[in-house]
Amino acid sequence: MPELQNDINTLGGVLGAIKNDGNRRFIYAYVSADVSAGQVGVISFDGDELNNPTFGTPATLAVYQYIAVAPKALDVSEDGYYMWFQIKGDAEALVEGTTDVAKDDFLEVLNGETSFKKDHATRSINSVCIAQEAQASDADVLTNVYLLGERVQVASS
């Protein structure tokens, strides 16, 4: 994938492009549905240059996948939209705390979900990020996390 060293206003957006900003890394992708700030999704690939790669709902597959976070809310037209999605570094992401999340817990995303949930106190093959603050609400709440930036397996439950 090409890597952009400057911002989108300098070089323009190229689908699949990667850019870095401090400890944060972003990928430019297509999205076909509305997203919320902090929404969690998977980056998927296909051969259609008009929408490759695409940000979508996580699904369990037998492969490692890039997990991304929408840094802002976006109302998508019927034709879709393109935007930078964060894949690494300090971020605000939706975290669901029905199972209490403590600072330093590792978090995962499950099949069909759009927020992170507690994985374990130690890292696993499903760990996408580490919590930088606690979250114990039964609702999806924007929470400070550190995205590890590595591909993971999405668990079914």
Please count the structural domains in the chain.
1
Task: Identify whether the C-beta of residue 39 lies closer than 8 Å to the C-beta of residue 57.
Answer: no
DSSP 122: S
Given a cut of 90, whether residue 7 has pLDDT beyond it is no
Residues 20, 66, 92: CA angle, nearest 5 degrees = 60
Tell me if 153 is assigned to some domain: no
Task: Identify whether the C-beta of residue 92 lies closer than 8 Å to the C-beta of residue 152.
Answer: no
pTM of the entire predicted model: 0.88
- Please state, for a pLDDT cut of 90, what percent of the chain lies above it: 73
120 - beta bridge partners?
106
Task: Identify whether the C-beta of residue 65 lies closer than 8 Å to the C-beta of residue 58.
Answer: yes
pLDDT class of 13 with cuts at 50, 70, 90: low
Tell me if 157 is assigned to some domain: no
Residue 13 to residue 75: CA distance in whole angstroms: 19
pLDDT of residue 10: 45
- Kindly report, residue by residue over 51-88, the tens digit of the pLDDT: 899 999 999 988 899 999 999 998 887 778 889 999 99
Report the Cα 132 to chain-centroid distance in Å. Answer: 16
- Please state, for a pLDDT cut of 70, what percent of the chain lies above it: 92
Residues 107, 110, 111: CA angle, nearest 5 degrees = 165
pLDDT of residue 51: 87
Q: In 22-105, at which residue ranges do the beta strands (DSSP E only) sit?
A: 24-31, 40-44, 54-56, 66-69, 81-96
User: Domain range spanning residue 48?
Assistant: 3-147
Of the candidate ranges 19-33, 72-86, 94-108, the one whose mean pLDDT is the lowest = 72-86
Tell me if 155 is assigned to some domain: no
